[in-house]
Amino acid sequence: MKASSLKQVLYLSYDGLTDPLGQSQILPYLAGLSAKGYLITIVSFEKPDKFEASSRKITQYCAENNLLWEPLVYHKSPPVFSTAYDLLALRKKVQQLHRERNFSIVHCRSYITALLGLWLKNKYSIRFIFDMRGFWADERVEGGLWNSGNPLYKYIYTFFKKREKAFLQHADAVIVLTEAAREVVLTWSPNYKVTVIPCCVDLNLFDPSKIMDTQKIALRTKLGLSADDYVLLYLGSIGTWYLWNEMVAFFRTLQEHKPSSKFLVLTPDRNLVEGDKDFIVLSVAREEVPLYISVSNLSVCFIKPSFSKKGSSATKMAEVLAMGVPVVSNAGWGDVEFFRDRLKNMYVSEDTKELPPLNHYRSENQDEFFRDLFSLESGIMKYDQVYRTLLS
């Protein structure tokens, strides 16, 4: 298919493609959409250290999947002013790119880039997708990242809440991660065009049938695990929203029932973990994660419940569930109660120290439900439907 016959899409992300999130939650979707006939230009903001380490791999991936990548440098300090500087660089870049490529759609990941998306819609009549993810401004305040008592951050919060309303009103399509978020948004106006697409998982990578018993045995030996050790897993970042102290307390309760328990923590934030001989704390490459999940018996994911977290969908939870390992979570965030009623290996508790039955499993019909909701193919199909609706 010639490039001139493809529909031109501009994808804007303030997260970098060289970040772990970019590699798990941006690139696989866009590669799938590219295969469906869209010529996608990605503008992302890259942190210099991660860019140096991973840019060659990302460049190759984009070339193999017919994705055009235009990386910009992310600036962290001084706060606020560095973001304003990045937005000016983004505006200059997208004007140049639109003159060259005449985009039909601008797809904006979260609020920062949506400022440019709405501007492009108003100036050039480009179809605008507000992929809001969660309630970002509220997350910043509730997570303690913006001090609402500080006049500057109070102004910024008010500014983005007003912009949020404008994004929702003028977007040609709105994407949220959860049914709970969709219900909230539609109470603000039933006319908003809202589609739910949760954080999906690549079931070709996270496939338990591809892990051999010999691999599991070798890894358990490498980790110093005996055949009788019961392994609790935590996968992902630590801090801000994740109730780390409660997860440690849960592990201690587990040890009372299973004294040989070990806590396997796979995180990029190794320096934040203080444990003892029963803690195994590692950072591993994404392609290694399925094997490490497979040696676990149970996983825990406790997230601070709040208004903003109604919009959250945990990628790591879907990845663990895909590997057939049961997950324990707390109530009050995202769609966890919805999943609890449909997945026998999903346990949701009001008390974070409460142990679940330790014999969870997923039945055949739940596999089908899981694939329909969480598979990467399903997510790509839903995005494709949004694109096709706008282009028609």
* Digit-coded pLDDT (tens) for 291-321: 999 999 999 999 999 999 999 988 889 899 9
Helix orientation angle between 151-170 and 110-124, rounded to the nearest 10 degrees: 50
Q: Can you give the pLDDT at residue 346?
A: 86
The phi and psi torsions of 131 (rounded to 5 degrees) equal -90, 80
The whole-number average pLDDT for the span 192-203 is 92
Q: Which amino acid, residue 307? A: F
Q: Model confidence over 102-159: pLDDT tens digits?
A: 999 999 999 999 999 999 999 999 999 999 988 999 999 998 889 989 999 999 999 9
- Long-range Cβ pairs for the range 32-37 (8 Å, 24+): 32/376, 32/377, 32/380, 32/383, 33/9, 33/380, 33/383, 33/384, 33/387, 34/65, 34/66, 34/67, 35/65, 36/380, 36/384, 37/1, 37/6, 37/7
Residue whose structure tokens are 């346990």: 347
153 vs 146: CA distance, rounded Å:
6
| Helix intervals (H) in 301-375 | 315-322, 336-340, 364-374
Residue 352, token pair as written in the block: 């974070």
Evaluate if pTM is beyond 0.85: yes
Residue 363: pLDDT above 70? Answer: no
Q: Are 13 and 44 in contact (CB under 8 A)?
A: yes
Calpha distance 159→231 (Å, rounded): 46
* 16: CB partners within 8 A, 6+ apart: 22, 44, 45, 46, 47, 50, 51, 71, 74
Q: Residue 230's closest CA among 388, 105, 355, 145? A: 355
Residue spans of beta strands (DSSP E) within 47-92: 67-73
Average pLDDT score over the chain: 92
Contacts 24+ apart (CB under 8 A), 280-284: 280/223, 280/224
Angle between the N-to-C axes of helices 27-35 and 48-64, in degrees from 0 to 180, rounded to the nearest 10: 20
> How far apart are alpha carbons 246 and 244 in whole angstroms?
5
Residue 361 pLDDT > 60, yes or no?
no
pLDDT level of residue 88 (50, 70, 90 thresholds): very high
Q: Indicate if the pLDDT at residue 360 is higher than 70.
A: no
- Pairwise CA distance, residues 346 & 339, whole Å: 7
Neighbours of 190 (CB within 10 A): 8
Q: How many residues does the structure list for the chain?
A: 392
Query: Using alpha carbons only, how large is the chain's radius of gyration in Å?
Result: 21
In which element (H, E) is residue 385 found? helix 376-391
* Between 1 and 28, the higher pLDDT residue: 28
CA 253 from chain centre, in angstroms, equals: 29
pLDDT category of residue 362 using cuts at 50, 70 and 90: low
Q: Round to whole Å and give the CA distance between 156 and 128.
A: 23
* CA–CA distance, 224 with 281 (Å, rounded to integer): 12
Whether 3 has a pLDDT exceeding 70, the answer reads no
How does residue 353 score in pLDDT terms, banded at 50, 70 and 90? confident
